[in-house]
Copies of this chain bind each other. A is one copy, B any other.
Amino acid sequence: MVSPTRATIEDVARLAGVSAKTVSRVFADSAQVADHTRERVRDAAKRLRFRPNTLARDLRRGGVSSTVAFLIGDISNPFYFAVAGGIEQELASAGYTMLLATTDDSAQTERRVIDALLGQRVSALLLTPVADDQSYLEGERHLGTPIVAVDRPPRDLVADTVVLANRSGMREAVRSLTDRGHRRIAFVANPASLYSVRERLAGYREALAEVEVQDTVRWEHLSDDPHASTHEAVRTLLASTDAPTAIVTGNNRATSAVLRALRDISTPHPPAVIGFDDFEYAELLGISVVAHDPHELGRSAARLALDRIADPGGRVRTIELPTRLLPRGSGERPPVEG
């Protein structure tokens, strides 16, 4: 089975009895062409199933493609997908397509994948930085590729950035607990080394310091082993003699683990719980959370990229998106001595 060959702009020109450039104009400028000529060209194009080759066009127009890349660390985290959704939406309305790639949260993969992406001459590179330093992108930035850091600031690289108000969001959550009299408050996170989680941890400590609780380390359960059992840790925490009366979590995964652990533990007085990141069943379960808008995070990032494509010399910006404490019951439980 021999495939028919794809029509080129020349084929269309021949059939329409015009020059290649005229065909080009019909599909690009759209102006500067007589109506009847345009008509004839359109007809010929349709008959030949002609479709302009974006690859060739982009190459001719300065070698930059009409795609923007978004590089995610962990594709299985629904948070990043919501972000990707926002990016895609904003890009699409500007005529760009999103190239989505993942790094498996490995610094080595990050470099390899970025190399491939830049080879495709993406118009901009959005990424959630994983490697310890992104200085290797400095050269690329000077070559004019807009780079936007999403959810985490880059290291050793000047770039537009969008992050959440992690620290103040968590501070507010913990304050709501201390206001109710809680003093023994645990912080549970896994992974814990991420920028966002570290910031939330800082906010947690700040809020506790405000009520003279300084030594919080024994309440902090931080792990970076994805296989470590948060479940077990929470169990231990609650079984101790001065068990916490409240638990805050560093992210959606930790929240899920904490809730599972609480289900399996029978305590007369369950601790108050406030999770970071909202989730679909939080309302049903009555779980208070520090909510934010991942979709908007993506849109903001895409807008930063588009702005920089339009004005490469503009000032570098960092956007911090607000969070919102949503009381749903679990976070309003008073402290009760177990």
| A interface, CB within 8 angstroms of B | 1, 3-4, 6, 49, 51-56, 58-59, 63, 65-67, 75-76, 78, 81-82, 84-85, 88-89, 92, 97-102, 113, 115-121, 139-140, 142-144, 256, 259-260, 263, 279-281, 283-285, 295, 312-313
Chain B residues closer than 8 Å to A51, beta-carbon distance:
115, 118-119
Q: Are A56 and B63 in contact (CB under 8 A)?
A: yes
Q: Are B54 and A56 in contact (CB under 8 A)?
A: no
Minimum distance in angstroms from A246 CB to a CB of chain B: 20
Minimum distance in angstroms from A26 CB to a CB of chain B: 15
Residue ID in chain B nearest A75 by CB atoms = B85
Q: Are B55 and A84 in contact (CB under 8 A)?
A: no
> Taking A88-B75, A120-B55 as contacts, is the C-beta distance between A98 and B99 under 8 angstroms?
yes
Q: Are B117 and A97 in contact (CB under 8 A)?
A: yes
Q: Are B100 and A84 in contact (CB under 8 A)?
A: yes
**Cα distance, A51 to B116, chains bound together (Å):** 9
**Cα distance, A292 to B107, chains bound together (Å):** 32
Q: Which of B143, B279, B312 contacts A4 (CB 8 A)?
A: B143
Q: Are B84 and A54 in contact (CB under 8 A)?
A: no
- A-B contacts besides A84-B100, A97-B101, A281-B285, 15 pairs, CB < 8 Å: A3-B143, A3-B144, A3-B312, A4-B142, A52-B119, A54-B119, A54-B120, A55-B120, A65-B120, A76-B295, A89-B102, A92-B102, A97-B120, A280-B281, A284-B285
Q: Are A76 and B85 in contact (CB under 8 A)?
A: yes
**Cα distance, A120 to B123, chains bound together (Å):** 14
Chain B residues closer than 8 Å to A67, beta-carbon distance:
67, 99, 120
Q: Are B121 and A54 in contact (CB under 8 A)?
A: yes
> Taking A3-B142, A84-B100, A92-B101 as contacts, is the C-beta distance between A65 and B55 under 8 angstroms?
yes
> Taking A55-B59, A89-B75, A263-B284 as contacts, is the C-beta distance between A99 and B102 under 8 angstroms?
no
Residue ID in chain B nearest A65 by CB atoms = B55
> Taking A4-B143, A55-B58 as contacts, is the C-beta distance between A116 and B97 under 8 angstroms?
yes
**Cα distance, A140 to B117, chains bound together (Å):** 26
Minimum distance in angstroms from A19 CB to a CB of chain B: 21
Listed by A's residue number, 16 A-B pairs whose Cβ atoms lie within 8 Å are A6-B63, A54-B120, A54-B121, A55-B120, A56-B59, A67-B99, A75-B84, A75-B89, A81-B81, A88-B101, A88-B102, A92-B113, A97-B99, A98-B101, A99-B99, A256-B281
